[in-house]
Amino acid sequence: MEIIKEPSELLKYIKRRKPEYKSIGFVPTMGALHQGHISLIECSKRENDFTICSIFVNPIQFNNAQDFILYPKNLEEDFKMLENAGCDLLFMPSAESMYIEEPRIKIDFGSLELVMEGKFRPGHFNGVAIVVAKLFHIVQPDISYFGQKDLQQYLIIKQMVKDLTFPIELKSCPVIREKDGLAMSSRNQRLTPKGRNVAAKLNESLLLAAKLLENSSVENTKAKVRDFYKNIKEIKLEYFEITDSETLMPIKDVKEHKGIAICVAAYVDGVRLIDNILI
């Protein structure tokens, strides 16, 4: 696996080598890799003849300084996992090389960024969109892979790609879970053993809601899920939403929508975790 750290060097590399490949697959990450990330690499390997992964803990998407400082880092292990997965190239730029000046652009995603992650993490999606746009310009992939765990992020990037005509296909890949249902996430590494056990309740609440929705209204389902969380003192619920899976707007009646996304964000051990399921 080749490793490139300088954006200008990768630009030159891609210019020189792109004609050799039928298609380049790209998996952007923030490192501390797990099987969720590797599933994206594997998907890219199946569909492209060259796969690039980036590891960059993007400072401008963090709305909480502590969250940025404590973000898990595990470079040695990351290298091994990417090598084993057959990744062709790792791009790992420094913050200084990505942001020679602080970007001034502000991107308005309308209602899509006013709910859930956008509402509770002010400025987060602006930072995500800027870094993903920069990475797309540098890497110039044909297809880029994202996880459904960050569903709102995927929809934001899809909007950006459409509005700005990036010649890139986006793919959303299923959430890879631990045996007890907990969505794999780099931040899980920060959980205590007790918190790790309790964290599986997030997925449990999503499955409970899906089951309840078969016979109950959205309102009753949300009330029952709130009760479910009231009994778990280790979890501080931030939001639990039943939404349209395309617009992410909260819904009133399941029957009026083609796809439903049930989404949750909560703190366990002070670590903020998210999860969702599509029904």
Ligand X SMILES: Nc1ncnc2c1ncn2[C@@H]1O[C@H](COP(=O)(O)OP(=O)(O)OP(=O)(O)O)[C@@H](O)[C@H]1O
Q: Binding-site residues for beta-alanine, please?
A: 61
Binding mask 148-187 for ligand BAL (x = CB under 6 A): --x--x----------------------------------
Active site annotation includes 137? no
261 binds, among ligand PAF, ligand BAL, ligand X, none (CB under 5 to 8 A by kind): none
Site for ligand X, residues 118 to 147, rule: CB under 6 A: 146-147
Residue 175 binds ligand X (CB under 6 A) = yes
Among 44, 144, 186, 245, binds ligand X (CB under 6 A): 186
117 binds ligand PAF (CB under 6 A): no
For the chain, give the secondary structure using H, E and C. Answer: CEEECCHHHHHHHHHHHHHHCCCEEEEEECCCCCHHHHHHHHHHHHHCCEEEEEECCCHHHCCCHHHHHCCCCCHHHHHHHHHHHCCCEEECCCHHHHCCCCCCCCCCCHHHHCCHHHHHCCCHHHHHHHHHHHHHHHHCCCEEEEEHHHHHHHHHHHHHHHHCCCCCEEEEECCCECCCCCECCHHHHHCCHHHHHHHHHHHHHHHHHHHHCCCCCHHHHHHHHHHHHHCCCCEEEEEEEEEECCCCCECCCHHHCCCEEEEEEEEECCEEEEEEEEC
In 10 A of CB 161, how many CB atoms?
18
Closest separation in Å from C-beta 61 to ligand BAL: 5
CB 57 within 8 A of CB 75: no
Binding positions are 30-37, 61, 147-150, 153, 176, 184-187
Which range touches ligand X (CB under 6 A), out of 74-82, 99-107, 169-177, 198-206? 169-177
The reply on whether position 61 binds ligand PAF by CB under 6 A is yes
Residue 140 found at the interface with ligand PAF (CB under 6 A): no
| Separation of alpha carbons 225 and 228, rounded Å | 5
Q: Is 195 in the site for ligand PAF (CB under 6 A)?
A: no
Indicate which residue of 37, 124, 137, 257 is catalytic: 37
61 touches ligand BAL (CB under 6 A)? yes
- Tell me, by CB under 6 A, how many residues bind ligand BAL: 3
User: Which CB, 61 or 126, lies closer to ligand BAL?
Assistant: 61
In the complex with ligand X, the residue whose CB is nearer, 67 or 224, is: 67
Query: Binding of ligand BAL at residue 276 (CB under 6 A)?
Result: no
Residues acting as catalytic residues: 37
Q: Which residues bind ligand BAL (CB under 6 A)?
A: 61, 150, 153
